[in-house]
Structure 1
């Protein structure tokens, strides 16, 4: 099974930026710690909206995990890209977006995702991987 993880803006700074919210572990170190022998994981990160959209369009994965960062709340274009592909998408956020600033409470992506995982730290990615591993996707 092939799973594509897409991380949006500023997530390249995990482990360095706002560690009180996002923790001190880099994303690369977190991914290396996962032991998912039957899942081939590829990771794409971009701070550029159009690159994320191109990645969604060009994917050849069985499932996608997306943390669109700040684009979650602003990007109709990323929402439309998810709607235009057949690959199932799980939305993940490290923090609980509902407990943060009010402008973060609405996700434009949630309505077009098969599921959403918020607030469990980096563990959210593993929970999403577990979903794909156990589902028929």
Structure 2
């Protein structure tokens, strides 16, 4: 940990600020490719390699092992993985504030991926509608 990080951590006034700083520190240690993929994992409620590759538009994605080893990524029984809910909220809030276009793009890709799944299963239909409401509110409503 460098002095700047410790200063910022000491100046944090809320638990949420401290948690975000720790997440930022973790992200700063990742390669650019893995960091981008981690941001994308916040978009869906769960993901596997195919879902994440669709969100990133990267059919050759091979960083799932690195991503799944992070402390804020959890096993999601029957579906693969998910980002811990509190961490997910920090990532989504940050992405929405700093790059809403990217948020919408990832959400549009997630909705498109969901559309290719079995929409008679409620979990896929709900997931698709959720992402449509973000990426294209008129179509999602």
Shorter-chain TM-score tier: under 0.3
Output the TM-score relative to the length of structure 2: 0.24
Output the TM-score relative to the length of structure 1: 0.25
Higher strand share: 1
Higher RCO, 1 or 2 (CA under 8 Å, sep at least 6)?
A: 1
Higher Cα radius of gyration: 2
Higher helix share: 2
